Amino acid sequence: MRLLGIETSCDETGIAIYDDEQGLLSHTLYSQVKLHADYGGVVPELASRDHVRKIVPLIKQAIADAGIEPKELDGIAYTAGPGLVGALLVGACVGRSLAFSWDIPAVAVHHMEGHLLAPMLEDTPPEFPFVALLVSGGHTMLVQVDGIGQYQVLGESIDDAAGEAFDKTAKLMGLDYPGGPMLSKLAEQGTAGRFKFPRPMCDRPGLDFSFSGLKTFAANTIAAEGDDEQTRADIARAFEDAVVDTLAIKCRRALQQTGLKRLVVAGGVSANRHLREQLKVLMDKQKGEVFYPRNEFCTDNGAMIAYAGMQRLKAGETEPLMVKGQPRWPIDTLTPPGQ
C-alpha cells in the first residue's frame, strides 16, 4: 500500500510518499522561514497563501521522485490539526480533493501524533509502551503511549511551549528569525554557570510545564546585564540550560511515575544538542533507551504524516467528503486505528 502524506499545519509545506513494505519512497519540504523573517514570526495569512503556491508543485515532485504515477497511490493523508486553521485547510482541501478525483480514500492525521510516531521511520524504532516528550514551537507535553491511538497526557505546558519560549527570548536578544536555533548557536559560546535561571515548576510535584516566567526572567537579565556579546552568550547559555534541565527533570518524573524504560523525544526542540546529551545521561542512569527521529524529521514534515496516516488507513479509517481543519485538537481524544 502506498500513501501520499501532506503537512501544512504552520509554515512548512511537507510532502512524502510512504510504502508499507518499502518504507519512505520520497519526501520534499519547503520552509517559509525567509517569508516570515521580516516579521519576526509566522504571519498566518501569508503562510496560507504560500502553502497554496507551493503545495501542488511539491506533490508533483514527490510523486516523480518516488518513480510512481498517481494511479499507483492507495490513499492520501493530510494534517487536519492542530495548527493554523488557514494553513490546515489548504492541505485538507488539496488532499481531500485529490483523493476524490483519483478515487482513493483520504485520512485526517493529528499533527502531534505524526511527531510522536516519527521515530517509527528509523531503522530501530521504539516498541510500545513508552513515554513521549513532544517538544516544539507550539506544544510541550509528556504522553504515556501504550499503542497507536492509546495516549494519556501526563503533563503539558500551561502557557508558552518550550520552542515558543526559545523564539521569544531570542527576539528579546535581537536575534534573527527563527530565533530558537539562533539562540542555541549563541549559547554554544556561553559560559555555563555565570547566570543562574530558575527551573520553573520543578520545586513542586507534577508534570506540567511553564516557560513564560523563564522568558520574563531572561528579559530582566538582558535589560540589566546584556551589554556585550559574551554576556549575551552567557545569558543564552543560562536560558538553554534552564529549559533543558526542566525538560529532563520532568522526563525523569514521568518515567518513574509510569515505570517505563523507553523515552521518545520528538518535535523541533528535540534536535537540540544539549537536550540530547542530558537525556542520554538520564536514560543511562535509568538503564533505559531514548529514541529520536532523524534531524530532518524533528521539524514539521510530510513523512511523519504519511506514516501516521498509513497506520489508520490500513485499519479502515477514511474521511468523508466534508473538509475540516481543527486548530485545537487534544491528542488524548484520539482512539486506536479502526475504532
Give the residue extent of every domain in the chain. Answer: 2-117+297-333, 128-292
- SS3 (DSSP) at 153: strand
Residue 180 marked ligand-binding: yes
In this chain, the answer to whether the domains covering 2-117+297-333 and 128-292 adopt an identical fold is yes
∠ CA 132-133-136, rounded to 5°: 135
Q: Is 160 annotated as a binding residue?
A: no
264 is in an annotated binding site: no
Task: Please check the confidence at residue 123 and state whether its pLDDT lies above 80.
Answer: yes
Strand partners, 24: 18
Instruction: Let me know if 310 is exposed, middle or buried by CB neighbors in 10 A (0-12, 13-18, 19+).
Output: buried
Is 272 marked within a binding site? Answer: yes
Residue 203 known to bind ligand: no
What mean pLDDT do residues 151-178 have? 94
> What residues have CB less than 8 Å from 123, skipping those under 6 apart?
none
Residues in Cβ contact with 166 at an 8 Å cutoff, skipping those fewer than 6 apart: 137, 179, 180, 183, 184, 239, 240, 243, 269
Average model confidence (pLDDT) for the chain? Answer: 96
DSSP H or E run through 253: helix 229-258
**How far apart, in whole angstroms, are the C-alpha atoms of residue 93 and residue 62?**
18
What band does 184 get if pLDDT is binned at 50, 70 and 90? very high
* Annotated binding-site residue? 259: no
Rounded to an integer, the average pLDDT of 15-30 is 98
Tell me: is residue 332 an annotated ligand-binding position: no
Q: Is the pLDDT of residue 67 over 80?
A: yes
Predicted local distance difference test score (pLDDT) of residue 72:
98
**pTM confidence score:** 0.95
Is residue 339 scored above 90 in pLDDT? Answer: no
Q: What is the pLDDT of residue 51?
A: 98
Of 268, 252, 258, 26, the C-alpha closest to 140 is 268
Lowest mean pLDDT among 43-52, 303-312, 322-331: 322-331
Cell (9 digits) for 38: 521580516
CB atoms within 10 A of CB 190: 21
Residue 166, pLDDT score: 95
Query: In this structure, are strands 12-19 and 140-147 parallel, antiparallel, or unpaired?
Result: unpaired
184 labeled part of a ligand binding site = no
Q: Taking Cα atoms as reference points, which of 112, 105, 110 lies closest to residue 319?
A: 105
| pLDDT of amino acid 137 | 86
Tell the CATH superfamily of the 2-117+297-333 domain.
ATPase, nucleotide binding domain (3.30.420.40)
CATH class as words, domain 128-292: alpha beta
d(CA 324, CA 310): 19
pLDDT higher than threshold 80 for residue 227: no
> Do the annotations mark residue 136 as ligand-binding?
yes
The three cell numbers locating residue 159: 502557557
175 and 182 Cβ atoms separated by less than 8 Å:
yes
Largest CA distance in the chain: 63
In percent, the amount of the chain with pLDDT more than 90 equals 94
Contacts of 183 (CB under 8 A, 6+ apart): 166, 169, 170, 173, 175, 236, 239, 240
How many whole angstroms separate alpha carbon 118 and alpha carbon 291? Answer: 10
Please state, in angstroms and rounded to a whole number, the distance separating the CA atoms of residues 215 and 316: 45
